Amino acid sequence: MTQIVTRFAPSPTGYLHVGGARTALFNWLFARGRGGKFLLRIEDTDRARSTPEATAAILKGLTWLGLDWDGEPVSQFERKDRHAEVARQMLDQGTAYKCFSTTDEIAAWREADPRQPFLSPWRDATDLPDAPYAIRLKAPRDGETVIDDQVQGAVRVANDQLDDMVLLRSDGTPTYMLAVVVDDHDMGVTHVIRGDDHLTNTARQIQIIDAMGWPRPTYAHIPLIHGEDGKKLSKRHGAVGLHEFAVLGYPPAAMRNYLARLGWSHGDDELFDDAQAREWFGLEGIGRAPARLDFKKLEHVSGHHIGRMRDDQVLAALQDYLSETGAPALTDTQRSRILAAMGALKEKAKTLPGLLDQARFAMIERPITVEEKAARNLDTVSRGMLKSLTAAVQNASWTRDDLEEAAQQVATENGVGLGKIAAPLRAALAGTSATPSVFDMMTALGRDETLARLQDQTDLAG
């Protein structure tokens, strides 16, 4: 049985778009779920626009997303001699020809009838000048080229609507169309999974494949991603670069889950892990309609994955997030406190910065600055109750149940509900009114730090 080989072939002319990331994910899932290979090719033939920085950003983005590739990334530009070799081979075998038409002649033809493809007068010429020439494909002029697409179905393109494309320019450089075909063949690619904006290119590329007598790969052209308004995804919709989603604090596992569901489905399953995705993913599950980016759904998926991650995995993700955003790294004390409170922190968190907001109490140092809203709960009476609570928990076993029992006893003695104790306690421990449970904070902070923070506030009572 032939081994499945897929590839992701981005152009290094900018950041890795979320649509490109999804294409990479689909190729990765299809190959990995079938014991195949997932290859990476950098299509850097556009030397004016390709940059090393963009290539580095693509590699970083794929690594962050958790997509590993087999072997070293292939540079398309470095294979230009091989591409030219194939063009000359086609020239020798009569499936391509020398074209001496100038740029002005071609422009004049197209201006005269823009609807008709350029027909070179040199296609069947035998008396050839000694002058610079391009090599063009001698494409079929009648019939049609049929793309047997796994998503779009049978796509038919009339051959008389396609011109004899240039394979090798007069300066000896290969064109993108030729390079893609040669690289896919030489890399042993069996399945080409890419955006449906490449569908017209595919008809042209198939003609090169057929002219060389090479086997056609299986094609699957996936619909593009649109914004929530149904229009083509752009900056006006918010984040569109993969790096922006990293900065927004969505864990890679959540992004893999969410991106997999953008245009592909497995029944009604919305939430799944990598093992399930690899097992379930198939081309038959890809729809033809454009997918829509939905940030509310992404947050739901993100919260699910944060809740399922091991505590140490979340802590590692937090540290990666801080590094990604240029924030200071966590100290040993902060890591210890956050880890101790992780069970409570994961419950409501939808994103990593959301979790960090909840973990603020574990990251601040004394003396604590109390926000204005929280400070309203720290009057003389409240501080008096905190003083009573401090005495009550001095010798407690420091379990959550014992701490809650002590607080309830102080509330009862003062003739108030537990909430009247919790509000000033929250302000004293965290300086804010939005926190995890006060008892989760106390257990995470530990006896000494908790008593010190309470003492800071009770000292103000005079």
Residue of 136, 187, 153, 190 whose CA lies nearest to 2: 190
- Report the distance separating Cα 196 and Cα 108, nearest Å: 31
Structure tokens at 88: 């000359």
Domain range annotation of the chain: 5-75+225-292, 77-222, 309-363, 372-461
Beta strands in 212-361 (DSSP E): 218-222, 225-226, 291-292
- Report the distance separating Cα 362 and Cα 352, nearest Å: 15
pLDDT of residue 307: 97
Alpha-carbon torsion, ordered 63, 67, 68, 74, to 10 deg: -80
Please report, in tens digits, the pLDDT of each residue of the chain (462 residues total): 789 999 999 999 888 999 999 999 999 999 999 999 999 999 998 888 889 999 999 999 999 999 999 999 999 999 999 999 999 999 999 999 999 999 999 999 888 888 888 999 999 999 999 999 999 999 999 999 999 999 999 999 999 999 999 999 999 999 999 999 999 999 999 999 999 999 989 999 999 999 999 999 999 999 999 988 888 776 666 668 999 999 999 999 999 999 999 999 999 999 999 999 999 999 999 999 999 999 999 999 999 999 999 999 999 999 999 998 999 999 999 999 999 999 999 998 999 999 999 999 999 999 999 999 999 999 999 999 999 999 999 988 999 999 999 999 999 999 999 999 999 999 999 999 889 999 999 999 999 999 999 999 888 765
pLDDT of residue 55: 94
Residues paired with residue 62 on neighbouring β-strands, in sequence order: none
CATH of the domain spanning 5-75+225-292: 3.40.50.620
pLDDT of residue 238: 61
Q: Which tens digits make up the pLDDT trace of 409-436?
A: 999 999 999 999 999 999 999 999 889 9
- Residue 368: HSE in the Cβ half-sphere, 13 Å Cα cutoff: 27
Pairing verdict, β 291-292 and 74-75: unpaired
Find out whether 235 and 17 touch, Cβ atoms under 8 Å: no
- Number of other CB atoms surrounding residue 422 within 10 Å: 18
Alpha-carbon torsion, ordered 409, 386, 365, 337, to 10 deg: 0
Structure tokens at 403: 């701490």
pLDDT of residue 237: 64
- Number of other CB atoms surrounding residue 164 within 10 Å: 22
Pairing verdict, β 191-195 and 166-168: unpaired
With tokens 């992780």, the residue in question is 342
For the chain, count helices (H), then strands (E).
19, 12
- Report the distance separating Cα 100 and Cα 112, nearest Å: 20
Query: Are the folds of 5-75+225-292 and 77-222 the same?
Result: yes
Pairing verdict, β 37-42 and 5-8: parallel
Angle at alpha carbon of residue 96, lines to 91 and 98, rounded to 5°? 75
Pairing verdict, β 291-292 and 225-226: parallel
CATH of the domain spanning 372-461: 1.10.10.350
Instruction: Give buried/exposed letters for 287-315 (b at 16+ CB in 10 A, else e).
Output: eeebbbbebeebbebbbbbbeebeeeebb
- Report the distance separating Cα 337 and Cα 443, nearest Å: 9
Residue positions annotated with a catalytic role: 235
Find out whether 323 and 329 touch, Cβ atoms under 8 Å: yes
Q: Is 350 annotated to bind ligand? A: no
pLDDT of residue 236: 66
Structure tokens at 269: 């399953």
Radius of gyration of the chain (CA): 31
Domain 77-222 coded CATH 3.40.50.620: yes
Instruction: Give buried/exposed letters for 87-106 (b at 16+ CB in 10 A, else e).
Output: beebbeeebbbbbbbeeeeb
